[in-house]
Amino acid sequence: MATLVVDTHDFVKDHAEAIVGGIKELKLDHVATKEDLLEFKAELFKWLVPLLIGQAGLIAALVKLL
């Protein structure tokens, strides 16, 4: 009976090094940062709040007319 011996530590180590090498080569300059998300959120609120106020005023006017 033949036995297959595999050095699993070396196998996993080689794969881990390959994955880390691939991650190091990623270009992350197009990924959004927390500051970008906060800026987007502020911009969203800048447009959303006036629209909600306008919608509430429009609904109030329509209710008063009916």
Q: What is the pTM of this model?
A: 0.47
Half-sphere exposure of 16 (CA within 13 A, CB side): 6
Contacts of 32 (CB under 8 A, 6+ apart): 40
Q: Work out the average pLDDT over 38-63.
A: 95
Q: Work out the average pLDDT over 25-51.
A: 91
pLDDT digits (tens, 9 = 90+) for 4-32: 888 889 889 989 999 999 888 888 778 88
**Percent of the chain with pLDDT strictly greater than 90:** 62
Q: What confidence score (pLDDT) does residue 66 get?
A: 87
Phi, psi dihedral angles at 33 (to 5 degrees)? -95, 175
Q: How confident is the model at residue 48 (pLDDT cuts 50, 70, 90)?
A: very high
